[in-house]
Every structure is written in C-alpha cells, then in structure tokens.
Amino acid sequence: MYNHLLFDADGTLYDFEKAQEFALSSLFNELGLGASSTTLHTYNDVNQSLWKMFETGLITLPELKIERFKRFFTIMGLQTDPFEASLRYLEFLGKSDHIYQWTVPLLTSLRSKGYRISLITNGIASVQRGRLAATHTIHLYDHIYISEELGIQKPDPEFFSHAFPDESEKKRALIIGDSLSSDIAGGNAANIDTCWFNPSKETPRMAIPTYEINSMDELPTLLARLNQRFQLIQHQK
C-alpha cells in the first residue's frame, strides 16, 4: 500500500528535548547563567511560541533565531547580545548526537523491506545537517527535506510537493510525525496519508491523522497489516 515513508525529525526520530538541553546548558554555562530547570523551562516556552508563529508564517526563520533569545533575556533581566547567543546556541545544537533508541534499528529494518525513506523537517539547515553527521544517520535516508533549504515550511502543501514530482506518488506515501500542527495538518492539506506518533496519548485536535501509534514499535506491525490488506484486495480483483 505504501512504499515511501516520510519521517519528521525532532520528537519522532531525534530527541530534541535532550539536544536542546545539551545546547542550552552549554550556552548558559558559558554565559555564567546556570542551567536550572526554571531557566530551561522559561526558554522553552518562548521558543515554542515562536515556532508556532513560524509554522503559520507570522515570523521568518532568521527573525526566530534572534527573537527567541531577545525575549528570553528580557524576561530574565539580562543585558546579553541575542545575536551572539543565537550563534553559539546553534553551534552547540549542531553537535548534538541525541537520538531515540528505536531510530537506527527501525529505519534499517524498513529500508531492508524496500521502503523509500525521507526525512522532513522544519529545522535549521546547519543544525539538522550537523546532527545527522553527529548521529551518523544520513545514510539511512533516500531524501532529506529541510524547510530552510526549500524556502517553505510544514504544514504548507508546497513543502511536500518537493518530494512528489509526480502527483500520483502521493497515494503510496505516508507521513509519520509527532506534530499535529505541522506533520498531520501538512499531510491533510497536501492529500497525503499520515500516521501520528502520539506517545503521550493525547486527543487529536486541529488535524485528523489517518493512523495513530503510541510507540514506534507499532509502526512495522501497522505497515505489515496494511500491506496484507492491500494484497488481499488485489488478489480478490
């Protein structure tokens, strides 16, 4: 039924929470600020609100990179250059090798079964390329689509058009991601089936996935079941 799997990066295959904590702790320690849970939580709230703005086109990526530190330092009452802080943070983040334990075995197994594997991410190009190198995982993908390199971000349907020169190929593609607002909503808008990775077992909102899994261990089973169903239908024809 499906032969092309498009995986989101952060929160799906790569552990962005640990990567961000590593990069922020390195930056804050360098600044003499300390990396308490309160400090990290404050930054995270600011950062997430700006990424939501980015997804809806209310802020550009170059603006986001600086604005998150500008707002964070204002809240913390610090007179620190947000531009320089952003540069150092991205350097640290690009060196992160934090990856989920299932990522390499899962992708290796799926590739052995003949699936095409693509990575689709709204991340910053230098950071994502750096993390792919640090985790030694770039060879696991047939294609890599990064919003900064494409000039368009998920959930815009145009982002996904880069992966499908032939519109008919969408019928055999499946998007797998943890974000309802970018991965699932993007798939809905682009008429591509989706699988929502929902480890927290939240209730769907804003966008409706075609399938839902709570653990990555469920994905191979789901694909096998769908393939069997497809073969049965073809046999009955």
Choices 2.30.30.240, 1.20.1080.10, 1.10.150.240, 1.10.287.1770: CATH for 16-93: 1.10.150.240
Q: Which of 10, 15, 178, 193 is catalytic?
A: 10
On the question of pLDDT at 235 being above 70, the answer is: no
State whether residue 178 is helix, strand or coil.
coil
Structure-model confidence comparison of residues 232 and 214, the more confident one: 214
Cα 7–174–117 angle (5° rounding)?
45
Sheet of 143-146: strands edge to edge? 143-146, 116-121, 4-8, 173-177, 193-197, 211-213
Q: List pLDDT tens digits, range 201-216.
A: 999 888 999 999 999 9
Active site includes 10? Answer: yes
Q: Which of 8, 156, 178, 183 is catalytic?
A: 8
User: What CATH superfamily is the domain 4-15+98-236?
Assistant: HAD superfamily/HAD-like (3.40.50.1000)
pLDDT at residue 168, rounded to an integer: 87
On the question of pLDDT at 165 being above 90, the answer is: no
Domain positions in the chain: 4-15+98-236, 16-93
Active site includes 142? Answer: no
Q: What is the pTM assigned to this prediction? A: 0.88
